[in-house]
Structure 1
Amino acid sequence: MSDKTMITMIANEDLDTAQYKLVNVDGDNGVKLRVAAGAPGLGILDNKPKSGEGATVITQGVTRAFAGATVTAGQFLTSTASGTFTNATSGQYIMGKSITGCASGSLFLLDIQHNGYKG
């Protein structure tokens, strides 16, 4: 899994149980777990930082991610309120496309693309 774009920001909350979930920039120049279903996020958390530690975030490329519902390979995906992923529907932000499928609660491969809102 190469050719990823990664950045490091400060975790503004404990994210030690949020590895491979969607995070977003918050108002204090750090990151927190994505909390709005169907909305954009910054990227996928690649480590397990506690509050105040460096959070490595994959913003582009292929990475592991957690499914919040059954994921089928080749589908455009959006975020759930818990930072996991589900199939995108009209009006939701498409974070990327599934490379592999899986059951809810399992890991799959996600190609982060930031495709914009689904029409």
Structure 2
Amino acid sequence: MLKKNKKILIKYFIIKTFISGMILKSNDVLKIKTNIFNINFYIIKFIDNNICLLNNKNKKIIILLLNRKERNIILFYKRNINYDCIPIEVFKLNFIFKLKISIVKKRKINKLNKLLKTNLIAK
């Protein structure tokens, strides 16, 4: 495991997970190897009939390699407002970099849980 998005388990329920390949350029490979690549800045978008990894800061696009069945499942969930698709981790498998992406649903935090947390912190 090279990079992992740790905030996911706190904010979301994981519904389904996929492993996809990535079309990387040489500077992307160097960023991943030298730990400059930060998965937290990337989101999953549907661009030109491809599912892509899009960087929020510099608008860098990495095309993801998924089969048709996986792509259709992701598109089905992306149409619903309650679900989202988020990159979880980047890892190396047999000299190839892979990306684990998940379909997630936001957790609903009750007002009671918020009150309990604030009371515990105040004490």
TM-score interval (norm. to shorter): under 0.3
Q: Compute the TM-score of the two structures, normalised by the length of structure 2.
A: 0.27
Larger radius of gyration: 2
Structure with a larger share of its residues in helix:
2
Q: Compute the TM-score of the two structures, normalised by the length of structure 1.
A: 0.28
